[in-house]
């Protein structure tokens, strides 16, 4: 069954309901060295990268705008991960990639309670994102997921990280620097939308539009 879906950026997409996506298609024991259930979201953790490969969650539209906690928690190492593979906030200090501590499950989508907000400050949910991309372009996709959750009532989100075969690494910590990352949004009524971002200091920032990052979701599955 194929349904037309109005996606909010002036486009209509048809998707096949029979091949519906599930978080477990990405976050499972085959793809992950360790699966972390943070209560509000799940992480597929890669020991070699010292970072997440996928992060998935379902946003409730009645919650994403229900609170706006201003005071942000401190980042903390996730002690569920073996010590030699976990990361700390200080690993990112003055790093050579000018990378932020980039959330995959974003704080603004989980700031409706102290507990949910604290959960996304686990360093297992953090990857190196070039600072201008994190603050100027990726943030638009994060805002869009909250808009969709509000409009549809609920939306499931999967964030994926692409490290490459021989990734660059932070000298201080050995954390792999991702080549790119993506965000997939979908629900069980036929909505599906995907965005792809290169983690490149030469990426276009000025004039960047959310629509510039729209990709075929089929290429990510």
Distance CA 175, CA 50 (A): 5
d(CA 142, CA 36): 22
Catalytic-residue membership of 103: yes
Give the SS3 label for residue 159: strand
What are the structure tokens assigned to 173, written together?
């910590």
From CA 188, how far away is CA 210, in angstroms rounded? 23
Determine contact, residues 145/183, Cβ cutoff 8 Å. Answer: yes
For tokens 């792809």, what's the residue?
196
31 annotated to a ligand binding site: no
Contact indicator for 4, 12 with CB cutoff of 8 Å: yes
- Looking at the chain, list the stretches that DSSP marks H as alpha helix, in order from N- to C-terminal side: 61-64, 114-119, 131-132, 138-152
Catalytic option among 103, 189, 202, 213 = 103
Burial of 111 (0-12, 13-18, 19+ CB in 10 A): buried
Catalytic positions are 103
Q: Which residues fall in the annotated binding site?
A: 134
Q: Which residues fall in the annotated binding site for Mg(2+)?
A: 134
């Amino acid at each position: 069954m194929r349904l037309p879906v109005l996606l909010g950026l002036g486009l209509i997409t048809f998707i096949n309901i029979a091949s519906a996506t599930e978080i477990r298609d990405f976050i499972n024991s085959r793809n992950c060295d360790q699966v972390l259930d943070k209560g509000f979201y799940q992480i597929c953790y890669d020991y070699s990268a010292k970072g997440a490969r996928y992060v998935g969650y379902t946003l409730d539209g009645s919650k994403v705008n229900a609170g706006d906690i201003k005071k942000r928690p401190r980042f903390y190492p996730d002690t569920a991960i073996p010590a030699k593979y976990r990361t700390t906030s200080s690993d990112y200090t003055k790093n050579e990639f000018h990378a932020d501590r980039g959330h995959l499950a974003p704080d603004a989508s989980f700031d409706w309670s102290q507990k949910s907000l604290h959960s996304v400050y686990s360093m297992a949910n953090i990857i190196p994102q070039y600072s201008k991309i994190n603050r100027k372009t990726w943030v638009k996709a994060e805002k869009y997921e909250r808009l969709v959750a509000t409009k549809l009532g609920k939306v499931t989100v999967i964030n994926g990280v692409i490290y490459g075969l021989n990734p660059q690494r932070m000298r201080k910590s050995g954390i792999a620097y991702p080549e790119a990352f993506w965000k997939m949004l979908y629900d069980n009524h036929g909505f599906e939308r995907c965005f792809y971002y290169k983690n490149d200091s030469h990426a276009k920032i000025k004039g960047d539009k959310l629509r510039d990052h729209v990709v075929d979701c089929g290429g990510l599955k």
